[in-house]
Structure 1
Amino acid sequence: MSEPARSDHTRGSLFDPVFGAGDLAPMLSDRAWLTALLDVEVAITRAARHHGRATADDVAAVAAAAGEIARELDPTELGRLSAAGGNPVIPLVKILRERADAPAGAVHVGATSQDVLDTALMVLAHKAGRHVVTDLRTAADAAARLASAHRDTPMVARTLGQQALPTTFGALAATWLVALDDGVTELERALEMLPAQYGGAAGTLAAVYPDGPAFADTLADLLGLARPVVPWHTARTPITRLASALGVATGSVSKAATDVVLMATTEFGEVSEDAPGGSSAMPHKRNPVAAITARAAARRVPGLVATALAAADHEFARAAGAWHAEWETITDLIRLSGGAAHQLSVSLGGLHVHPAALARNLGLTGGAILAEKVTAALAEHTDDARDIVTAAAVAGTPLDRDQSITGHLGADRVRELLDPTRYLGHAGDLVDRAVARHEITKGPA
């Protein structure tokens, strides 16, 4: 059976909800692309009117035709028509001119296909990117709550997969928080700088001379985008900046999600999600699905960032292939970054922390993780302190029962030294700093 035509399909209707992009995907669908292209064309005609190159009637006619096309034209059909010219703007402009009750010269005024496609991508990225920022902020807020609630909840810090020293769950959550806040800052900056594109056939604005730069500024203002300094047809900083910011933000998501997945393992049992997923074969399983799918979406992001950066070498005044490689790359990059951020917000927003399990795992070594503290105290009594403590640790002898140690310090003193709550350093202070910065950066509620 053949698949029915889907005029509004996203990049993956089956998997978008799984990877958190259920709400975001329609903003980046083929229908959204078509609508954005038409919005740019209407804005070009509006800018033309502002500069005396079109009339109010022209604007009304082009806007009406664009609205009709946005509702009725199947993106699948537009895609078929686009193959010959290599981009959808060429056939779309033809259809718009045929449908609009306006002179042909009032449509696509002074523009080239890249102007419309690049600007449409900026429009989509600006709108969908704000959605990504919202989910990142939600995840950061959840991390802040966890950090505050567990500011002084002891747990073991792990380095290179091994138990290291005591810390607190709040301190771990604070690292998530700072990274997520940094991701928000980077992405917001990139979104604020997204510019309109308008340069004409070769980037000289010759078709609208002497109004070119002013025309470009008007177009940007009409679409809520940044004003371009010059046409950026082959200077792809806006694209690479956006891709890099999405990569930074998604990296912060992946870090937190990875910690949650590991801490939720049966052996650790230190956290669990509010609505864990099951298994089709193993009824006992409670999988941290939100964190898992956040990681899955995030895993695909670095490759797309690399593609965007690799495609930045646009030659001369129009790239042959590098430009074309960006369209779906950036669309997918936003979708996956947003999906990862959303799934992490779900995970952290309903995360249950289990202090008893944290305490159990903190005590697994019988105090050996505080050997450096015992060594420092013992060194005041003997030059062989390190060798003595190392030998006890290697033998698996509890430090408060090793006579080579207790003979100098006494068992009670050693047990005091082995109390993890007495060796948390500035864990609480670091939580306070991270949460305070978060409150400042997120602004008033």
Structure 2
Amino acid sequence: MRPSSSPSEPLGLFDGVLAAGPIRAATGDAAWLRAMLDVEAALARAGGTPPEVAEEIRAAANRLDIAALGSAAAESGNPVVPLVRALRAAVSPAASQHVHRGATSQDILDSAAMLIAREALGLILADMAVASAAAAHLAEAHRDTPVAARTLLQQALPTTFGLVAAGWLTALDSAADRLAAVRATGLAVQLGGAAGTLAAFDSPSIVDRFAAELGLPAPALPWHTDRTRIADLAGALGTACGVIGKVAGDVVLYAQTEVGELAEGQPGGSSSMPHKRNPVAAISARAGAARAPGLVATLLGSMGHEHQRAAGAWHAEWAPFTALLRATGSAAQWLARCLPYLRADTARMRANLDLTGGALLAERVSAALAPKVGASEAHDLVREAVASGRPLAEALAGHLDPDQLASLLDPASYVGAAPALTDRALKRHGEQA
């Protein structure tokens, strides 16, 4: 199922940024209607309806008015009731008697939600794979490129840009693994009938046939009021957004004018400042990701469904469920547009390493001085040298041999195990590919 945008769903003012890529169509009203009709047709086939009758049910989408269904949903509290009424009127009399037989509204909407999620997750995973591949390329290309590591937004020690990109890579891969697991086993069909007992069906085997028709797992029990599947999906989407937001946030910080170590391949402009080259893709990825926590919280907060049918909590899921899939899909799409075209300015990275006159090598120099003057005295000497504002090579010239001091102050030679750690991340990524 790969629905496309329809004339009834014009591009919203903010959709170009916050619903970027194919995720918009995959989670739009037309997609929901198609998914619900696919569920109704699958239910008919599972119940032994002739294939041509089931196909007539599935093909009724073009004869149904989404706006009218939405308006009529207010009468019953959900859109399935008017959908069933309109569907029975839209198909032949022979087909109408097979519409919605034995099911309840939540069976249709929850199963449709699983189809929507499966499609959306496929799109999200594809974009995350693009971003991961780009991060792997950056990690490999810059395995030995020194750059300042920053803690609390201040220069700390040298690291490599390869290790930075490797950190992005492993986080993206881990988030994608979780999403893939949910997509593979967590998106089960819903079928229980009016109270979850399957009383209107001849045998519980209807669930297995129904699941097979939709290509989704069959649950052990109807899960009308057990919302762990929704919670697991929400958690995985929220985690993915957290990772995307971190990676995109790093790009934004590295692209600052005063830092200038990274630049997007297709930066955006400003309405008032001709000189601006804004990292629009990273900014937009962060915007999508930032929406996730509140949406996740709403879905988790709605888990307390009363008895065998929730009085409001189920209804509260619909909009944030769709919005969370859309926000994650948009964020992943933007990151996939960002990382493959990212440009690293290695000269600027080196210049920034030299910006403090060797201060970020203070730990190393202090350790080299300690055998000569004692650990405490070495610490104080280096601290005073840094505080003086003079380059360490000049401030400590009388305490260490010039050649030794020059070697100690080479940031490229004090990156620890960064290259080896990068190799480990790349090896693991390659094994998973």
Q: Distance in 2 between matches of 1:65 and 1:123?
A: 17
Residues 333/246 of structure 1: CA separation in 2 closer, same or farther (3 Å cut): same
Deviation sequence 1:23-52 (CA, Å, 0-9, x none): 221111111111111110000000000xxx
Residue 328 (structure 1) aligned with residue 319 (structure 2): yes
Q: Distance in 2 between matches of 1:283 and 1:227?
A: 57
Q: 1:236 aligns with which of 227, 242, 245?
A: 227
Instruction: Look up the SS of the partner of 2:390 in the other structure.
Output: coil
Question: How many Å apart are 1:7 and its aligned residue?
Answer: 6.0
Unaligned runs of 5+ in 2: 1-5
What amino acid is the match of 1:308? L
Residue 399 (structure 1) aligned with residue 398 (structure 2): no
Partner of 2:94: 102
Partner of 1:198: 191
Map 1:419-438 → 2, pairs under 5 A:
419-438=410-429
Q: 1:130 aligns with which of 122, 133, 138?
A: 122
Q: Distance in 2 between matches of 1:397 and 1:94?
A: 81
Deviation sequence 1:98-130 (CA, Å, 0-9, x none): 323326542212111000000000001101110
Q: Would you say the 8 A contact 1:20–1:342 is kept in 2?
A: no
Partner of 1:382: 373
Deviation sequence 1:405-424 (CA, Å, 0-9, x none): 44342222112111101101
Map 1:84-103 → 2, pairs under 5 A:
84-98=75-89, 99-102=91-94
Partner of 1:21: 20
Count how many residue pairs are aligned between Structure 1 and Structure 2. 424
What amino acid is the match of 2:94? A
Residues 378/174 of structure 1: CA separation in 2 closer, same or farther (3 Å cut): same
Deviation sequence 1:143-190 (CA, Å, 0-9, x none): 000111111111100000100000111110111101100111010111
Partner of 2:41: 42
Q: Distance in 2 between matches of 1:418 and 1:321?
A: 64
Q: 1:154 aligns with which of 146, 154, 166?
A: 146
Q: Would you say the 8 A contact 2:42–2:54 is kept in 1?
A: no
Instruction: Look up the SS of the partner of 2:212 in the other structure.
Output: helix
Partner of 2:3: none
Q: Distance in 2 between matches of 1:379 and 1:266?
A: 38
Instruction: Look up the SS of the partner of 1:325 in the other structure.
Output: helix
What amino acid is the match of 2:274? P
What amino acid is the match of 1:420? P
Partner of 1:281: 272
What amino acid is the match of 1:338? G
* Higher mean displacement: 96-105 or 361-370: 96-105
Q: Distance in 2 between matches of 1:46 and 1:100?
A: 16
Q: Distance in 2 between matches of 1:278 and 1:420?
A: 35
Q: Would you say the 8 A contact 2:64–2:87 is kept in 1?
A: no
Partner of 1:245: 236
Instruction: Look up the SS of the partner of 1:314 in the other structure.
Output: coil
What amino acid is the match of 1:170? G
TM-score under structure 1 length normalisation: 0.92
Residue 337 (structure 1) aligned with residue 328 (structure 2): yes
Q: 1:410 aligns with which of 401, 409, 433?
A: 401
Q: Would you say the 8 A contact 2:270–2:276 is kept in 1?
A: yes
TM-score under structure 2 length normalisation: 0.95
Residue 301 (structure 1) aligned with residue 292 (structure 2): yes
Calculate percent identity across the aligned residue pairs: 51
Unaligned runs of 5+ in 1: 1-5, 50-54
Q: Distance in 1 between matches of 2:155 and 2:114?
A: 47
Q: Distance in 2 between matches of 1:355 and 1:338?
A: 32
Q: Would you say the 8 A contact 1:177–1:434 is kept in 2?
A: yes
Q: Distance in 2 between matches of 1:100 and 1:185?
A: 45
